[in-house]
Amino acid sequence: MEKDIDESRRSFIATSGKALAGVAIASSIIGGTAEDASAYSYNGGYKYQKLDPGEVGEITYKNYFKRWCASSVIAGIVEPLRRQVGGKWKDFPIDAMRWAHGGMAGWGCLCGTLIGAGTVVGLITNDTDIAEEMANDLCFYYSYTELPSYQPRKIIKTKLEDMTLAGTPVCHISVGRWMAAADKAFFSDARAERCARLAANVAIETTHMLNKWKDGRYKPAHELQFNLKAHGITSQNNCMDCHGQNVPSAEIYKTLDK
């Protein structure tokens, strides 16, 4: 058994070595060097003009009840861009990411609002590092802000009082903590209202970042991949949420040079 695991690990390392070499070659073709294969710019042709965060929030909120989390964040940002900028935004298929609702088709993984936000950020910034910095900052905002704080101009489903700290960008845990605090079922008007307002919050935060970036003033608020480097596994600093008192150490796994 032990031997089998070692065998498969060796073949994994061999394959990932090839994959890394592939990345280096691809990046040298588009202008990077083989040594610096991590970040590169690209141009998808989606232009940006500063948006009104209030309008973005309102559109996102209204769209939620039809398009759900991911596509309504996209709609909140793309619909005003269609009017203000036009161009490629006119044909952008807002509903192509609707599958991401409920943490990907209801599987409860990453909150769909963040998938929607990350999609537009990637289209607009044209730089893999800046997009990742914004995605990272959005995860921090989502996890460590009491939400939803958005107040709609006209309430669509129901009044709402409870706000919770998700402590994580994971849909299941975020929704579950809110349901426990509000004492509401998943299939209730209140939970739909909560996710609609949360989507508006995320779209507004994303717009603030993009507006700053447009002015050349966006600076990442948080270190990139801090958790991964600190813990030796993709995660955040909340190990005990799932592992309880017995958090396994990633240090026992042999790894490539750090």
Give the residues lining the site for ligand HEC (CB under 6 A): 170, 231, 233, 235, 237-239, 241-243, 247-248, 250
> String of b and e for 52-89 (b: at least 16 CB within 10 Å)?
ebeebbbbbbbbbeebbbbbbbbbbbbbbbbeebeeeb
Beta carbon nearer to ligand HEC, 185 or 250: 250
Between 84 and 238, whose beta carbon lies closer to ligand HEC?
Answer: 238
- Residue 248 beta carbon to ligand HEC: minimum distance, rounded to whole angstroms: 3
Question: Rounded CA gap, 93 and 107, in Å?
Answer: 23
Kindly state the smallest distance separating residue 200's Cβ from ligand HEC, in Å.
26
CA separation for the pair 68, 98 (Å, rounded): 7
Are the C-beta atoms of 64 and 196 separated by less than 8 Å? Answer: yes
CB of 29 to ligand HEC, least distance (A): 36
Whose Cβ is closer to ligand HEC: residue 37's or residue 239's?
A: 239
User: What is the smallest separation between the CB atom of 250 and ligand HEC, expressed in angstroms?
Assistant: 4
Least separation in angstroms between residue 232's CB and ligand HEC is 7
Return the number of the residue (155 or 250) whose C-beta is nearest ligand HEC.
250
The least CB distance from residue 197 to ligand HEC, in Å, is: 24
Place of tokens 């070659």: 25
The nearer residue to ligand HEC, 17 or 248, going by C-beta atoms, is: 248
In sequence order, the 6+-apart residues with CB closer than 8 A to the CB of 122 are 131
Q: How many residues does the chain have?
A: 258
Task: Report the residue number, 90 or 243, with the smaller CB distance to ligand HEC.
Answer: 243
Q: CA–CA distance from 117 to each of 50, 121, 179, 230 (Å)?
A: 16, 6, 24, 26
Burial class (CB in 10 A: 0-12, 13-18, 19+), 167: middle
